[in-house]
Structure 1
Amino acid sequence: MPANQSGAENIGQETDSDAIEAAAGWMARLLADDATEQDSINCQQWRDQSSLHEQAWQRMCQITGKFASLPKGTGIQVLEKVSQSVVSRRRFLNVLALAGIGVTATWLGASQTRLGRSLQAQYRTGPDETRTFTLEDGTRLTLNIDTAVDVDFSAEKRQIQLHQGEILIKTGHESPRRQFLVTTHFGQLIALGTEFCVRQYKHYARVAVIDGAVEAYAASGVKPQRVDAGQQTRFDKTMIAPPEPLQNAAISWRHGKLVAEGMRVADFIEEIGRYRPGFTLYDSAVANLTISGVFSLQDTDLALQSLASSLSVELQYRTTYWVKVIPAR
């Protein structure tokens, strides 16, 4: 839980700014991947400590325009219901940044949470950048937006810990006796002289193999699955799906494009929204429409305009940072 908010002894020393920053931390905490009902209870207790806290919480609701003045007693289930059309915590943090409100690793539990570990990772990217690194063995490691990894090379192994986001790896040529591993929240991948992408979602991870092969291991120890070039699969802690043909959408980000092949509008908006500041939403009435084409991830306004010109939908803007895809009128 956010620091310095477990008791009431410091309340008298708090300023409005302190309370606003704490409220921002609580919102971000409740949107973290590993948020629990206890976090919601602790947040409620913090709100109940003083009228200053409750006012700060309601002000944050107004700033983000997302939680619409949540009533007292709101739990994580309600938070998820209200924010179901907003697909990532990254966008929420973006909005806080736009409002001039920072969120520190201390608020989010520092190294005790996934987000905290991500903030302290060796290699990371922001919400609007990709970066490529050459590691000591010649491996090329590309981080997509909002990605965090740690690298651990030893005499026995080469290991990359993916905390969040998406990476493209082209392994260096080295003795196979020193395995190349990618560890996710859901399991581990062993590279067999390969080029591949790994993306970590909230409830599973996906691996897409461009060249060579990868062996996927779920955390539960079920039988591993080999994924060859031209294939992809998804896995969580308990299962590994059978490999399927590689979809261009899984790897096209490396060229700054989104390749949609009969993609649902809901999925399209989720992808485009990753590359836009603020909120990118859709009406449930258009969620299952499908779109095909190649769209720019560098110019998401153009991508959205292309969507609107291709389907019977239109774009509803409230601000530069708030857009919703709705049925055409």
Structure 2
Amino acid sequence: MAHDATADVPPRFADAVLDAAAAWLTELMSGQATEQDIQQWRQWRAADPEHERAWQHLERVTGRIALLDRRAAVASLSPQPRPTARRQALKAIAALGISGAGGFALVRSPHGRQALADVRTAKSEQRTLALGPGMTAVLNTHSALNLSLQDARRHVELLSGEVMIDTQHAAADASVLLRTPFARVDFMHALVQARRFDDYTWVAVHAGAAAVSLQSGAATTALAAGEAIRLGARAAKPIEQLAPTAGAWRDGQLIVDDMPLAIFLAELSRYRPGVIRCDPRVGQRLVSGVFPLQDTDAVLKALSSALSVRVRQRTAWWVVVGPA
């Protein structure tokens, strides 16, 4: 019988579908999935034929992903997550060859890197870590870190998302080296915030001072309290003044002043599972106020009346904001 070569060609999927499938795969294999997570996973699969096709592709390739529903359902039997087991599972999947023309390189994707991180948070979750005596790190929503805490100099790698590190009350010889693909941030006795974007890292100093440089080894820039900077692959932007509300997320708030609605919704979506789409016809309307990150449904409802926009929620995971 002749071999059908087309059967070996990996199907193509949209990047957003790949990203979502990778997110669900790593979440369900993490041992931390709740019954609500499982229900939302099923809703995601049913929301679009492309979603189901991508998931079935994973099942065919691995031959064991179909068991995830059962595994996730009994996740509550495990009192503690096991990062080592999760890493081994992701490496095993990589070894099975889930990659190719469709771009299913899960371990190399943002979600794959998050799954292999030492510490990570899900969407809408924040986590406070002790880096040592008098040293803390607050990890914002959907973020991931690798840590090395063996000596007085703490090494922190920001893989994705955002972190606030406070060493103001640390020992005299304690310091932190914070790294991203674009930046190196060295500081002692300071309050430093960093956020990773696709093509640059934003760094801000709320208290104390920090020495910032490109990862490529360019000259060091001194940042004082109240200053921020953006560092890309080859160059850094001029120093900018830090908005006093930039760290409001630590208190569960999103504080904005005349922010275009499209940008505001992109920020809000960081704290809410699924997707928020903004119709370009209303994207430039300006938003001001203090908004609670713990209740994004209430925020969307407030926008509906304040800006005369219509909020349509097609599923729990798909929201569209457009003209009223």
Give the TM-score, by structure 1 length.
0.67
1:225/1:240 contact within 8 Å kept:
no
What amino acid maps onto 1:189 in structure 2?
Answer: V
Does residue 239 of structure 2 align to residue 243 of structure 1? yes
Task: Give the match for residue 294 of structure 2.
Answer: 298
1:150-196 deviation digits (Å, cap 9, x = unpaired): 111344731101111111110152244x5411001212111232012
Structure 1 30/295 Cα, relative in aligned 2: closer, same or farther at 3 Å?
closer
Task: Give the match for residue 171 of structure 2.
Answer: 174
Task: Report the Cα distance in structure 1 between the residues aligned to 2:282 and 2:269, rounded to whole angstroms.
Answer: 16
Task: Report the Cα distance in structure 2 between the residues aligned to 1:157 and 1:195, rounded to whole angstroms.
Answer: 16
- The SS at the match of 1:305 is helix
1:208/1:251 contact within 8 Å kept:
no
Does residue 211 of structure 2 align to residue 221 of structure 1? no
1:20-39 deviation digits (Å, cap 9, x = unpaired): 9x97999425998xxxxxxx
1:144/1:167 contact within 8 Å kept:
yes
Runs of 4+ in structure 1 deviating by more than 3 angstroms, as ranges, are 6-9, 22-27, 29-32, 60-70, 107-115
- The SS at the match of 2:145 is strand
Task: Report the Cα distance in structure 1 between the residues aligned to 2:185 and 2:21, rounded to whole angstroms.
Answer: 27
Structure 1 67/236 Cα, relative in aligned 2: closer, same or farther at 3 Å?
farther
Task: Report the Cα distance in structure 2 between the residues aligned to 1:136 and 1:151, rounded to whole angstroms.
Answer: 12
- The SS at the match of 1:135 is strand
Does residue 280 of structure 2 align to residue 284 of structure 1? yes
1:289-320 deviation digits (Å, cap 9, x = unpaired): 21111111111111112222222322122223
Structure 1 248/65 Cα, relative in aligned 2: closer, same or farther at 3 Å?
farther
Does residue 114 of structure 2 align to residue 118 of structure 1? yes
What amino acid maps onto 1:126 in structure 2?
Answer: A
Does residue 265 of structure 2 align to residue 273 of structure 1? no
Task: Report the Cα distance in structure 1 between the residues aligned to 2:146 and 2:289, rounded to whole angstroms.
Answer: 35
Does residue 297 of structure 2 align to residue 314 of structure 1? no
Task: Give the match for residue 204 of structure 2.
Answer: 208
Structure 1 288/222 Cα, relative in aligned 2: closer, same or farther at 3 Å?
farther
Structure 1 31/242 Cα, relative in aligned 2: closer, same or farther at 3 Å?
farther
Task: Report the Cα distance in structure 2 between the residues aligned to 1:122 and 1:68, rounded to whole angstroms.
Answer: 29
Unaligned ranges ≥5, structure 1: 1-5, 12-18, 33-59, 71-96
2:46/2:52 contact within 8 Å kept:
no
Structure 1 7/156 Cα, relative in aligned 2: closer, same or farther at 3 Å?
farther
Does residue 252 of structure 2 align to residue 256 of structure 1? yes
1:124-148 deviation digits (Å, cap 9, x = unpaired): 1112311111123431111111111
Q: Give aligned pairs, total.
A: 259
Task: Report the Cα distance in structure 2 between the residues aligned to 1:300 and 1:61, rounded to whole angstroms.
Answer: 19
1:61/1:67 contact within 8 Å kept:
no
Following superposition, the deviation at residue 111 of structure 1 comes to: 5.3
Give the TM-score, by structure 2 length.
0.68
- The SS at the match of 2:190 is strand
Task: Report the Cα distance in structure 2 between the residues aligned to 1:321 and 1:26, rounded to whole angstroms.
Answer: 13
- The SS at the match of 1:284 is coil
Unaligned ranges ≥5, structure 2: 23-42, 54-68, 73-85, 99-103
